[in-house]
Structure 1
Amino acid sequence: MGDVVNLNRFRKTRDKAERTKEAEANRARFGRTKAEKERDRKEAERRTQTLDGHKLDGEE
């Protein structure tokens, strides 16, 4: 006679492995390091300052 398998446990294990695989793919696709975020923030700030520096007098 074969072993008794708890189907709920099997499903939960399978679903958890699937979610883990999807999370790994998302981390690779969307994850950014702190240094990358800081670089982008500084770049945006520099662009804003450059634009503000080129405004004509009297414009607000």
Structure 2
Amino acid sequence: MAEIVNLRQQRKARARAERVEQAATNRVRHGRTKDERQRQENDAERRRRQLDGLRLDEPSRESVGTDRPPQDGGPAQEERD
């Protein structure tokens, strides 16, 4: 006698297998190895540290933007009658 097969389950199994195969193809095509990712992260950190080391001074939060008067008509502008 023939084996009874649920067609819905067969379609789902076939679609699942196709997605797994497509994912494997995409990983090969677009993916990076763990070493490549680690190397890129290390390079970015090294560049960030190098840039921070070249900074002349750290601007303090109080002195940032105090050389210009506020543009919203705040207390720095005088009323003219």
Q: TM-score w.r.t. structure 1 length?
A: 0.67
Question: Comparing both chains, which one has the higher relative contact order based on Cα–Cα distances under 8 Å and sequence gaps of 6 or more?
Answer: 2
Partner deviation per Cα, 1:11-44 (whole Å, 9 max, x = no partner): 1232122211221123124432221121011100
Greater Rg by CA: 2
Amino acid of the residue matched to residue 36 of structure 1? E
Gapped runs of 5+ residues in structure 1? none
Indicate the SS of the match to 1:57: coil
Aligned-residue CA RMSD (Å): 2.5
Q: TM-score w.r.t. structure 2 length?
A: 0.54
- The answer for the alignment partner of 2:9 in structure 1 is 9
Normalized per residue, the structure richer in helix is: 1
Gapped runs of 5+ residues in structure 2? 61-81
Paired-residue identity, %: 48
